[in-house]
Amino acid sequence: MAMDLKEIEALIKEALPDAVIEIQDLAGDNNHFSATVTSSSFSGKSKIEQHKMVYNSLKGKMGNELHALAIKTKEL
């Protein structure tokens, strides 16, 4: 199973509308990605909470369709 880069971006954008998202397909296999997400929604939240917000935006795909997504979050 794999996911398209655009699909990941759209899901994050839906949950965090102001987010600036940079996604890279690390291995070119639609299965190992890294995402840097910058959003004002992260302010005042712990790293764990910030990453959970990104995971939640992916609606359960993380760890299933999506095998590997390295996440970096930044506050806007």
Partner 1 sequence: MDQQTKDLINNEITNNEVCLFMKGTPDAPQCGFSMAVSNMLKILEVNYKGINVLENQSLREGIKEFSDWPTIPQVYIKGEFVGGCDIVKEMYENGELKKVLEDKGVNFKK
The answer to whether residue 25 forms part of the interface with partner 1 (CB under 8 A) is no
Which run of H or E residues covers position 10?
A: helix 5-15
DSSP 66: B
The answer to whether residue 63 forms part of the interface with partner 1 (CB under 8 A) is yes
**Sheet holding 68-75: strands in order across?**
20-25, 32-39, 68-75
Q: Which stretch binds partner 1 (CB under 8 A): 8-16, 17-25, 37-45, 56-64?
A: 56-64
**In the complex, what is the shortest distance from the CB of residue 18 to partner 1, in angstroms, rounded to a whole number?**
21
Q: Which stretch binds partner 1 (CB under 8 A): 3-11, 14-22, 37-45, 63-71?
A: 63-71
